[in-house]
């Protein structure tokens, strides 16, 4: 399930998110805050850079809430498959094995 974050960023697996962090920086005397999402593979996704601490906290809270909401909902959404649809013929491994037997003369 893809979680859409602010500024057009997205995370494919919300449950693989380690943390959301705010990194204070100062460039040429100008202080700013970078909001990052750290993923399970230690990759970091930059969301946005803001100029004041309160705005950074609000944005980090928004990102955290979006990720947490998606984690809880993703498990329930996957289970809601109608069992009658699941029993339809969708091409099982047996069908694939039949093809292998016929074309084993490579």
Structure tokens given for 61: 């809270």
pLDDT number for residue 63: 92
Q: Which residue in the block uniquely carries the two structure tokens 């990052």?
A: 36
Residue extents of the structural domains in the chain: 1-65
C-alpha 68/C-alpha 59 separation (Å) is: 14
Q: Which of 76, 71, 10 is nearest to 45 (CA)?
A: 10
Q: Which of 64, 65, 11, 62 is nearest to 40 (CA)?
A: 11
pLDDT number for residue 106: 52
Q: Spell out the per-residue pLDDT of the chain, length 106, in tens.
A: 788 888 888 888 888 888 999 999 999 999 999 999 998 888 899 999 999 999 999 999 999 999 888 665 544 444 333 444 444 454 444 554 555 555 555 5
Q: Which residue in the block uniquely carries the two structure tokens 């099982």?
A: 92
**Strands 30-39 and 17-27, sheet pairing:** antiparallel
Look up the pTM and report it.
0.61
Structure tokens given for 28: 């040429």
pLDDT number for residue 43: 87
């Amino acid at each position: 399930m893809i979680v859409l974050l602010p500024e057009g960023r997205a995370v494919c697996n919300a449950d693989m998110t380690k943390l959301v962090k705010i990194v204070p920086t100062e460039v040429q005397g100008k202080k700013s805050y970078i909001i990052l999402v750290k993923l399970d593979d230690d990759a970091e996704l930059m969301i946005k850079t803001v100029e004041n601490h309160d705005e950074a906290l609000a944005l980090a809270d928004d990102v955290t809430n979006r990720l947490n909401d998606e984690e809880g909902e993703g498990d329930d959404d996957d289970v809601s498959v109608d069992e009658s649809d699941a029993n339809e013929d969708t091409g099982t491994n047996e069908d694939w094995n039949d093809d292998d037997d016929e074309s084993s003369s490579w």
